């Protein structure tokens, strides 16, 4: 979503038109990311164990056994499924806000441009904060447990 918005707003002269093929590619990419997150423990790279009140499963951050291979998987998950998306979101939405602010500065007298700038900034803040609210607590606890094993 952040990448699509970045391309549409920040690269309007590149003749990019969001079409059905782009939507299909987005869905395929989403499924690939989901499978690359969920499937490795099913084939022996780390494992799932019951978490918390034993009503859901998560990656085993607790076991130090080499045969479980959880250390490399936890690092992989933290980098590929948390850190990289966070960097992409910050970059895309940061550039989007800068582009909208530059356009608004060129048309200072336009009330609609100023309103659009405020709406875009509000949307960006909501999207970034939502991602952080959803993932920082889990990633932080998992990383803490992983770093303080034993």
Residue 84 φ/ψ, nearest 5 degrees: -65, -50
Average pLDDT over residues 48-74: 81
Residue count of the chain, please give it: 150
Q: Which residues are part of a known binding site for Zn(2+)? A: 71, 149
Question: Per residue in 121-137, pLDDT tens?
Answer: 888 889 899 999 999 99
pLDDT exceeds cutoff 70 at 14 = no
Residue 12 has a pLDDT of 65
Q: Which residues are part of a known binding site? A: 71, 149
Average pLDDT over residues 80-92: 91
Rounded alpha-carbon distances, angstroms, from residue 9 to 19, 63, 80, 103: 16, 46, 26, 11
- 59 touches 41 (CB < 8 A): yes
pLDDT exceeds cutoff 80 at 111 = no
Tell me the domains of the chain and their CATH numbers.
2-147 (1.20.1070.10)
Strand 48-51 relative to strand 56-59, pairing: antiparallel
Tokens for 119, please give them.
């709406």
Distance CA 149, CA 111 (A): 56
Tokens for 97, please give them.
């806000």
pLDDT band at 150 (very low <50, low <70, confident <90, very high): low
> What b/e sequence results for 8-40 when a residue is b if at least 16 CB atoms lie within 10 Å of its CB, and e otherwise?
ebeeeeeeeeeeeeeeeeeeeeeeeeeeeeeeb
Distance CA 40, CA 76 (A): 11
């Amino acid at each position: 979503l952040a990448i699509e918005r970045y391309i549409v707003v920040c690269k309007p002269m590149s003749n990019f038109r969001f079409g059905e093929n782009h939507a299909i590619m987005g869905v395929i990419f989403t499924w690939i990311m989901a499978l690359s997150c969920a499937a490795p423990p099913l084939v022996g790279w780390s494992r799932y164990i019951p978490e918390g009140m034993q009503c859901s499963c998560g990656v085993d951050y607790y076991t130090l056994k080499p045969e479980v291979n959880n250390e490399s998987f936890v690092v992989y998950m933290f980098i590929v499924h948390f850190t990289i998306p966070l960097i992409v979101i910050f970059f895309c939405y940061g550039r989007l806000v800068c582009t909208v602010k530059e356009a608004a500065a060129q048309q200072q007298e336009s009330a609609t441009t100023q309103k659009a700038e405020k709406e875009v900034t509000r949307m960006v803040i909501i999207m970034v904060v939502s991602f952080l609210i959803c993932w920082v607590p889990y990633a932080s606890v998992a990383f803490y447990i992983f770093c303080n094993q034993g």
